[in-house]
Every structure is written in structure tokens, then in C-alpha cells.
């Protein structure tokens, strides 16, 4: 069961990935996690990636693809995996197909969570973290009850300007990946603005 979980930032991919991991006992593969791990382990690719990150540059595809290839060769991916936040471009999607071909595998299902931009902006900009307890709240959907408002902070990348910029990048670079997988008849689309439990139920029914 090799799955790509697809959707804009804030569409709920991370939340749903955890439910899939628990239900099907397959690992969630996020490039952010792979990068952090490789840097912590001081692997050759990890050190290369760190060089770019320290300079504030994007890690090149060649390095990211190499790290993904190494991760997919690990034993826990035998039963399958969930790609979360990768591929972000059509070039990466094509490269992922080549990596999997060498491993005699292929992407079987792509689950796309569709959420309108306005809702994503509301979801992300409403998030606040308590400096004291570390708990994460949402000012509309999950407001704090017993926190001092002065202790609640917004992450620097949760502002409206940053979210809108990330969404523009998503529509320009990442949205075309969905067409790439649609041409392979692998895409199932779900309304990501439904209740969390309903989305999980629909994902499980698609995966069977």
C-alpha cells in the first residue's frame, strides 16, 4: 500500500496520516523528518542538505530525491508507506516513479484533500501556541479556556501574508502534480472541509 497524501498546507494531511499509520501500520514519510534525521545522523546527504539550509537556500531536488530513495529502501517500508508533502513538483513525481521502479514498487493511490484557500488561511492564521504550556489552540475552532491571552503567541509563518505566499507556491508548483497522477488514474479526491472523523472514514473506505 504505497500512498501519496496530497493537499495544500493546512489541508489536514498530517492529522490524517497519523490515522493511516495506526490503521495500516505503514510509515509516514515526510521530507522534513527525513532531512532532520539525516542531518542529526550526519550522513553524506544530510551534511550536504545542511549546507544549503544554513545558507537559507532550498535543498536541491537531487539531494531530496537521494534522501527519499534511502528512506524507501528501509525495512519498515516493505508493507507500504505514506508520502506526506512529497512530491511537491512534477519533476519530483517523475523522479519518485523512477526510484520506486528500481525497488519494484509503484504509487498505488493518491488521496487529495481539497480545502478552499479562504478556509486554509482561517485555519492557519487562527493557530496560537501557549508559551507556558506549549499547547496549540485555534482561536475559532479550539479556543483556550484557562490560558492567559498574553501567553498565546502566533508562529512567524502562520501570518496571513506568509500563508497566502505558501498557497501561491502550492498552486503554481504542486497542484500540477495532481494532474500527473490523474493521468495515471490514481487519484481519489475528498472534501477536506468535512469533520475530521468523516474524512478518515472516507480515506479508509478508499484504501479498503
What are 48's three cell numbers? Answer: 550536504
Active-site annotation holds for 127 = yes
Active-site annotation holds for 71 = no
> Which of these is catalytic: 50, 88, 186, 201?
88
Q: What is the DSSP string of 22-35?
A: HHH---EEEHHHHH
Active-site annotation holds for 13 = yes
Characterise 127 by phi-psi region: left (phi > 0), alpha (psi -120 to 50), beta (else): beta
Q: Parallel, antiparallel, or unpaired for β 28-30 and 2-6?
A: unpaired
Q: Which of 14, 23, 16 is nearest to 199 (CA)?
A: 16
> Which of these is catalytic: 109, 123, 127, 128?
127
Contact 31, 68 (CB under 8 A): yes
Helix (H, G, I), strand (E, B), or coil: what is residue 142?
A: strand
> Which of these is catalytic: 50, 105, 166, 201?
166
Active-site annotation holds for 123 = no
Active-site annotation holds for 128 = no
> Which of these is catalytic: 44, 102, 135, 155?
155
> Which of these is catalytic: 13, 71, 109, 128?
13
Residue positions annotated with a catalytic role: 13, 88, 127, 155, 166
Amino acid at each position: 500500500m504505497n500512498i501519496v497524501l496530497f493537499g495544500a498546507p493546512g489541508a489536514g494531511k498530517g492529522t490524517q496520516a497519523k490515522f493511516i499509520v495506526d490503521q495500516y501500520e505503514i510509515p509516514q514519510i515526510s521530507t522534513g523528518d527525513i532531512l532532520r534525521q539525516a542531518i542529526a545522523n550526519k550522513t553524506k546527504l544530510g551534511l550536504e542538505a545542511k549546507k544549503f539550509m544554513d545558507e537559507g537556500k532550498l535543498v536541491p531536488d537531487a539531494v531530496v530525491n537521494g534522501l527519499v530513495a534511502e528512506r524507501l529502501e528501509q525495512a519498515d517500508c516493505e508493507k507500504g508507506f505514506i508520502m506526506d508533502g512529497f512530491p511537491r513538483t512534477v519533476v519530483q513525481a517523475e523522479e519518485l516513479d523512477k526510484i520506486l521502479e528500481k525497488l519494484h514498487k509503484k504509487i498505488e493511490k493518491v488521496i487529495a484533500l481539497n480545502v478552499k484557500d479562504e478556509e486554509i488561511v482561517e485555519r492557519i492564521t487562527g493557530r496560537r501556541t501557549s508559551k507556558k504550556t506549549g499547547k496549540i489552540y485555534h482561536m475559532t475552532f479550539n479556543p483556550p479556556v484557562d490560558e492567559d491571552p498574553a501567553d498565546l503567541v502566533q508562529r512567524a509563518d502562520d501570518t496571513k501574508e506568509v500563508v497566502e505566499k505558501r498557497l501561491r507556491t502550492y498552486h503554481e508548483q504542486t497542484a500540477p502534480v495532481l494532474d500527473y497522477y490523474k493521468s495515471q488514474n490514481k487519484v481519489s479526491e475528498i472534501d477536506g472541509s468535512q469533520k475530521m472523523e468523516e474524512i478518515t472514514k472516507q480515506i479508509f473506505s478508499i484504501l479498503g
